[in-house]
Amino acid sequence: MAKSEVTSNANATPTKTPHLAFTTISNVKLHVPVLLRLSQPNYKKWSRLFLLLVSRFNLQGYINCSVVPLSEDDNEWLQLDAFLQGWILSTISDEISDLVISSVSTASALWKVIHDLFHDRQQERSCDATRTRVPHHRQRQHHHGGLLSTSAKSCRLAGRC
Average pLDDT, the chain: 74
pTM over 0.85: no
Cβ pair 3, 74 in contact under 8 A: yes
Percent of the chain clearing pLDDT 70 (strictly above): 58
Say whether pLDDT at 87 is over 90: yes
Q: What is the pLDDT of residue 64?
A: 96
The dihedral through the CA atoms of 105, 107, 108, 109 has a sign that is positive
Q: What is the pLDDT of residue 161?
A: 32
Q: What is the pLDDT of residue 25?
A: 64
Percent of the chain clearing pLDDT 90 (strictly above): 47
Cβ pair 76, 4 in contact under 8 A: yes
Q: What is the mean pLDDT of residues 128-137?
A: 49
Q: What is the mean pLDDT of residues 103-130?
A: 81
Q: What is the pLDDT of residue 140?
A: 40
Q: What is the pLDDT of residue 158?
A: 38
Cα–Cα distance measured from residue 14 to residue 11, given in angstroms and rounded to the nearest whole number: 9
Q: What is the pLDDT of residue 94?
A: 96
How sure is the predictor about 19, in pLDDT bands with cuts at 50, 70 and 90?
Answer: low
Closest CA to 147 of 135, 157, 158: 135
